[in-house]
Amino acid sequence: MSIHTSNNTEDNDAYHPPVYFLFVEEKTITINRQEGEKCCLTQQKGERFCLTQQKGERFCLTQQKGEKICLTQQKGERFCLTQQEKEKFCRTQQEGKKFCLTQQEGEKFCLTQQEGEKFCLTQQEREKFCLTQQEREKFCLTQQEGEKFCLTQQEGEKCCLAQQEGEKLCLTQQEEEKFCLTQQEGERCCLTQQEEEMC
């Protein structure tokens, strides 16, 4: 897994939200939950990845070219994080010590917002990656060994996206398994509503 970043600083009067790029595979995957455009997950051509929580642009994480990272929490620009060339960084936002970001030696990375452990981002050894918003486990993104990928919105298991070995893609709405989309090897695509076994 490789990572890349950019920051728009030309216009100081307008805020340009950063974009997070996670390099996974040459596929295009888009998940758009339209309740106020709160969540968008895109895997573009050239193995780019973008995760954005819109509605006021309160949160956006971008890893762009030059291996730099900038994390901004808006609403008064309370927090900004930049990873420089030496790739070692640790910062704490001290209002109750709600936020701590650390990148240690050996390319380890951990981001934690501690108020009830609502948010945790960890890149472990062997290119493991996990993003979790823990308030009732609403959102979880994991890239495991062997280029496995899983995105889960856990309130009732309504949505699950898994890219497994062999470049398989599966999108499942798990309430009674009503909907499943699978793209298998050879660019084949099968759409199934499982209660009636239609394809």
The predicted structure's pLDDT at residue 30:
41
Nearest to 131 by CA among 113, 147, 115: 113
CA distance 195 to 179: 9
The predicted structure's pLDDT at residue 50:
38
The predicted structure's pLDDT at residue 34:
37
Which contacts (CB < 8 Å, 24+ apart) does range 100-109 have? Answer: 101/71
The residue written with tokens 């600083």 in the block is: 9
The predicted structure's pLDDT at residue 55:
39
The predicted structure's pLDDT at residue 181:
40
pLDDT, tens only, 144-174: 333 334 444 433 333 334 443 333 333 433 3
The predicted structure's pLDDT at residue 119:
37
Give the torsion sign (CA, 193, 194, 197, 199). positive
Cα–Cα distances in Å, from 186 out to 44, 75, 171, 180, 189? 19, 46, 18, 18, 9
Above pLDDT 70, what percent of the chain?
Answer: 0
The predicted structure's pLDDT at residue 130:
39
- pLDDT (tens digit, 0 to 9) for every residue of the chain, 199 residues total? 333 334 444 444 454 443 333 333 333 344 443 333 333 333 333 333 334 333 333 333 333 333 333 343 333 333 333 333 333 333 333 333 333 344 433 333 444 443 333 333 444 333 333 343 333 333 334 443 333 344 444 333 333 344 433 333 334 333 333 333 433 333 333 333 333 333 2
Q: Domain locations in the chain? A: 3-192
Its CATH architecture, for the domain 3-192, is Sandwich (2.60)
The predicted structure's pLDDT at residue 193:
39
The predicted structure's pLDDT at residue 197:
34
